[in-house]
Amino acid sequence: MALVLDPSSRYVAPTNLMEPSDSLPIFDVQQVPLHFPIAADFVAAQVANNVLVLALSTNRILRIDLDTPQDIDDIELPKKSSEIGLIRKMFLDPSASHLIISTTLGENYYLHTQSRQPKALSRLKSVSIESIAWNPSMPTASTREILIGTTDGNIYETYIEPSTEFYRREEKFVSAVYRVPDASPVTGICVQPIASRSDQRRVLVATYGRLLHFIGHAGPVRQGREGGGSIYADLFQRETPSVHEASNPSATAPSSLAVSPSNVRVIPSEGSSERDFAWLSSEGIYHGQLTSDTPFEDAKLVPRSKFPATESARGGRKMIQDPITAMTLSQWHVLALVEGRVVAVNRLNGEFVHEQTVMEPRQPTLGFLTDVTQGTYWIFTSNEIFEVSANDEDRDVWKVFLREQKFEEALRYARGHAQRDAVLTASGDSLAKEGRFLEAAKVWGKSSKGFEEVCLTMIDNKEYDALRKYLLSQLSTYKKSSIMQRLMVTSWVVELFMSKLNSLDDNLATKAELAEGATTGDIKGELGTIQDEFREFVTMYKADLDKKLVYDIISSHGREAELLFFATATNDYNYVLSYWVQREKWTEALNVLQRQTEPEVFYKYSSVLMTHAATGLTASVSLNQNQAVRYLNFIIVNHPNPSAAVHNTLISLHASSSSTSEAGLLTYLQSQPSSPPPYDADFALRLCIQHDRVQSCIHIYSAMGQYQQAVELALEHDDIELAAIVADRPEGNDKLRKKLWLLVAEKKIRQPGTGIKEAMEFLRRCELLRIEDLIPFFPDFVVIDDFKDEICAALEDYSRRIDELRQEMDNSALTAGQIRNEIAGLDARYAIVEPGEKCWICALPLLSRQFFVFPCQHAFHSDCLGKEVLEGAGGKKKYIRDLQALLSKGDLPSARREEIVKELDGLVAEACILCGDHAIKQIDKPFILATDTEDEWAL
């Protein structure tokens, strides 16, 4: 036979751009014309992946690819209908690769897409298949594990793989895995994977009166042994299903299970692979989402009573026919076939949105089918095919979500500015009513809600944080040409930022909000966040800010840090440099100076920076190319008396240079006088120490007279030759020279790899060193032969010194003898006192009482001399008084008395008071005393 399918009749949505989609019906049903040269009726039909499969009453199967409808596969079953019965049902998998045919006598056949010969499924013989759950992975080479529901309530699991071997069965195994409780026919079954749990499966089983939901782990498939055994048996045995039962189940009412197409976006989780389900039973259409472990909790029922019924006459009486004969699921609607009419019910709100008559009321149908991969819908009768096309099906979905206050979903499906604005406005109003002003501000900022109304609402509720967020959102909606609006809003935002920062600082200072549960750390964290937001705002909108106005706003709040950041962000280097210089932050000032190119700014601040940060101010180039070094050298050479700052700057440049050579710095230092140096020696020394200029440090130490520090520094860096040179510099101070050379000697002798002879030869450069000074520095076990000559020379020198000392001792003994003779001769010395001689103190006659005469011919009364000596005795005064007190006692022995008199005379007459030390001590004594009278000195 031949069948012609006219593809040009398939409905295509209008492409006329002048006709908006809202003016078209959501669904449109068109009949697909068929031309049969041989009369035949359809007994079963299936559609999947744009492939149409029709079973004729003659047990012939037509397979039509709708992309090339002129090519039709005409396939016959391998046996006569009298042997196997007529085709009762067909089941086509979503990929259109596998077709299972069930007959009225319980025979079942399998046909692969690449074959034209159906193969008998012997292991499924006498099984009346009512429904099939295909593998969710949609394999094409084999069916892999599938579930089969039967008319007697059993569920089997099988694995079918086509084979060319004659004796090999198509099905690898067949296992009974479950039986529904009431043994009623399994009118629908489906398997879905769990998006978030790849090792689990969801199974829905529908009967006339029950809908069962299983969820659990499916058994693993061993590598290389696919089809080796059941993977669903454990799931059915281990898991207890959740059950939804119809109130008045009827086995005569149509029953089916449908799952939404695979390209449906499940709400609310966008991008999820979960789908929706619908179950047709005697009570109506029960539908919900397969997005949780308990899908029946949120499922809804569209009762049969809501569908319009058709009256018919029978036996003189009017009867209401069972209205729903078939149903399926589209993206957003339940499509039901109600007595020849296609009725669309919105799944979200249960509203009836479309109704179209397509056939006679009592005309029987073969099913209402969905091509889940293509998202197309088909109605089959015994001799007609209808295609249901969706036209902009989700056009009103946003309204449904908006009425249910599901604003995120509504916004996702809103089209155009007007729809989005309506959703945003309503969402903001709802958030504000709930007191969530911060969130409302963000939403209102993207809507067309009145600016004044929103601002007043925020101010009335004292929600200044929300107001700030709203203004920031509004800024993103203004065009660049809206200069005035952007200026006003940005200035207002700056004011709000400053008020918020001050409020947080006050809270930290007074701990005002700590009683409300906020910790100090929380407030500090919020403060840091607001500061970051302000910096981000300034960076983004600095072109819209009026500099003078912002300076005034921030200054009025006393926010110096924010003022400084704004000045930096707007390249106001003059202000920033002035700020850092006033605070003597030289490094920060240099960093700012390096980021600008205005010569006037350099000239203005270079002088102060040259004084305090000369190194950082100059360019980082080699000394030979550094023009500052060249200029300073010129000033030093040609200027008669350059200031110390010039010399210090030059030293700074040399010391901080990246070059490791100190030649330039040493040359300069050696060319300058050392007492006093024209530079600040302490400053130069600190710089050289900071930059590890060792030789320059040693030179400066030497110039300052700190030779020991210079030698120690040179030895610390193992420069023994330089240390020896410095050790010879203290001219005229042999003691210091010897001390310094001992330091050098110790380092030289203990230097690894230095021999004894080499060390001794080096140390001969200093004539002050002796072998006995050096011996402590040598190792304990040293061979004396290495410095035998030095020891012999030292011993000869000691011998000469001993002879010299012996001669000096002989001379001293001779001198001592002569002194003793002179002392003995003193006992025979005498002095002549002339008559009338007077005392040099009291001017009375000397011979009137006891007196003393000195070799200088000065004579004094004993009491006058004792009184004068006692006044100037100093530390001996107490001792003299003690001796005088002893003499006043009359009980002293004569010998002791003579001894005391002799000792006292010795103290009093030790020296002439006019020629000896006593006269020198009286040099500051005035000639006229306070006790003297004027007559005594009158001329």
pLDDT band of 773, cuts 50, 70, 90: low
Give the domain-ending residue among 539, 570, 601.
570
**Total number of domains in the chain:** 4
Q: What are the strands, taking DSSP E only, across 742-793?
A: none
Rounded-to-integer distance, Cα 176 and Cα 147, Å: 9
- Sign of the dihedral defined by the CA atoms of residues 730, 736, 738, 742, in that order: negative
Rounded-to-integer distance, Cα 659 and Cα 622, Å: 7
Could you tell me if residue 673 is inside a domain?
A: yes
> Which tokens hold the place of 711?
């030698």
Q: Are both 692 and 547 inside the same structural domain?
A: no
More confident site: 653 or 750: 653
- Taking each helix axis from N to C end, the angle separating 694-703 and 663-671, rounded to the nearest 10 degrees, works out to 10
435 CB-near residues (< 8 Å, 6+ apart): none
- Sign of the dihedral defined by the CA atoms of residues 661, 664, 670, 672, in that order: negative
Rounded-to-integer distance, Cα 162 and Cα 134, Å: 16
Do the Cβ atoms of 152 and 128 come closer than 8 Å?
yes
Do the Cβ atoms of 178 and 236 come closer than 8 Å?
yes
Q: Are both 555 and 648 inside the same structural domain?
A: no
For residue 268, is the peptide bond before it cis, meaning its omega torsion is within 30 degrees of 0?
A: yes
More confident site: 553 or 624: 553
- Sign of the dihedral defined by the CA atoms of residues 117, 120, 126, 132, in that order: negative
598 has pLDDT over 80: no
Q: Are both 526 and 583 inside the same structural domain?
A: no
Q: Are both 678 and 555 inside the same structural domain?
A: no
391 has pLDDT over 70: yes
Q: What is the pLDDT of residue 316?
A: 45
Residue 713's closest CA among 736, 684, 688?
Answer: 688
Residue 707's closest CA among 687, 723, 718?
Answer: 723
Q: Are both 447 and 466 inside the same structural domain?
A: yes
318 has pLDDT over 50: no
Do the Cβ atoms of 483 and 545 come closer than 8 Å?
no
533 CB-near residues (< 8 Å, 6+ apart): 497
Q: Are both 588 and 543 inside the same structural domain?
A: no
Do the Cβ atoms of 185 and 208 come closer than 8 Å?
yes
Rounded-to-integer distance, Cα 120 and Cα 127, Å: 12
Q: Are both 560 and 434 inside the same structural domain?
A: yes
Q: What is the pLDDT of residue 61?
A: 92
Do the Cβ atoms of 696 and 660 come closer than 8 Å?
no
Q: Could you read off the pLDDT of 149-206 as tens digits, one per residue?
A: 999 999 999 999 988 776 677 888 999 999 998 889 999 999 998 877 778 899 999 9
> Which tokens hold the place of 738?
């010897």
pLDDT band of 504, cuts 50, 70, 90: confident
308-313 contacts: CB < 8 A, separation 24 or more?
Answer: 308/338, 308/341, 308/343, 308/355, 309/339, 310/339, 310/340, 310/361, 312/361, 312/362
DSSP state, residue 231: S
Rounded-to-integer distance, Cα 158 and Cα 121, Å: 11
pLDDT band of 224, cuts 50, 70, 90: very low
Q: Count of CB atoms within 10 A of residue 208's CB?
A: 19
CA atoms within 13 A on the CB side of 648: 16
Residue labelled with tokens 């042994």: 225
Q: Count of CB atoms within 10 A of residue 160's CB?
A: 25
Give the domain-ending residue among 613, 641, 673.
613
Residue labelled with tokens 């990929």: 95
Rounded-to-integer distance, Cα 865 and Cα 752, Å: 75
Q: Are both 770 and 861 inside the same structural domain?
A: no
Does the pTM surpass 0.85? The reply is: no
Q: Are both 863 and 777 inside the same structural domain?
A: no
Could you tell me if residue 184 is inside a domain?
A: no
Could you tell me if residue 332 is inside a domain?
A: no
Q: What are the strands, taking DSSP E only, across 739-807?
A: none
Q: What is the pLDDT of residue 105?
A: 92
Give the domain-ending residue among 570, 586, 605.
570
| Domain membership of residue 772 as a residue range | 614-794
pLDDT band of 270, cuts 50, 70, 90: very low
Residue 141's closest CA among 99, 164, 117, 112?
Answer: 112
Could you tell me if residue 729 is inside a domain?
A: yes
Least confident of 134-138, 299-303, 884-888: 884-888
> Average of pLDDT values for 613-636?
76
> Average of pLDDT values for 716-744?
81
Could you tell me if residue 279 is inside a domain?
A: no
Could you tell me if residue 898 is inside a domain?
A: yes
Q: What is the pLDDT of residue 619?
A: 63
Rounded-to-integer distance, Cα 732 and Cα 654, Å: 34
Q: Are both 575 and 565 inside the same structural domain?
A: no
pLDDT band of 271, cuts 50, 70, 90: very low
- Taking each helix axis from N to C end, the angle separating 877-888 and 894-908, rounded to the nearest 10 degrees, works out to 150
> Which tokens hold the place of 143?
């069916």
Phi and psi (nearest 5°) for 234?
A: -65, -35
Q: What is the pLDDT of residue 322?
A: 59
Q: Are both 561 and 576 inside the same structural domain?
A: no
Phi and psi (nearest 5°) for 448?
A: -95, 15
More confident site: 925 or 543: 543
Q: What are the strands, taking DSSP E only, across 83-221?
A: 87-92, 98-103, 108-112, 119-120, 129-133, 144-150, 154-160, 171-179, 188-194, 197-206, 210-217
Q: Are both 764 and 678 inside the same structural domain?
A: yes
Q: What is the pLDDT of residue 309?
A: 63
Could you tell me if residue 340 is inside a domain?
A: no
Q: What is the mean pLDDT of the chain?
A: 81
Radius of gyration, alpha carbons of the chain: 61
440 has pLDDT over 90: no
> Which tokens hold the place of 624?
């030979």
Q: What is the pLDDT of residue 928?
A: 74
Task: Spell 665-685 as b/e; 16+ CB within 10 A means b.
Answer: bbebbeeeeeeebebebeebb
Residue labelled with tokens 């910096």: 535
Vertex 290 angle, CA 288 and 294, to 5°: 85
Could you tell me if residue 253 is inside a domain?
A: no
pLDDT band of 905, cuts 50, 70, 90: confident
Rounded-to-integer distance, Cα 63 and Cα 47, Å: 10
Q: Could you read off the pLDDT of 781-803 as tens digits, one per residue?
A: 555 556 666 677 767 777 788 88
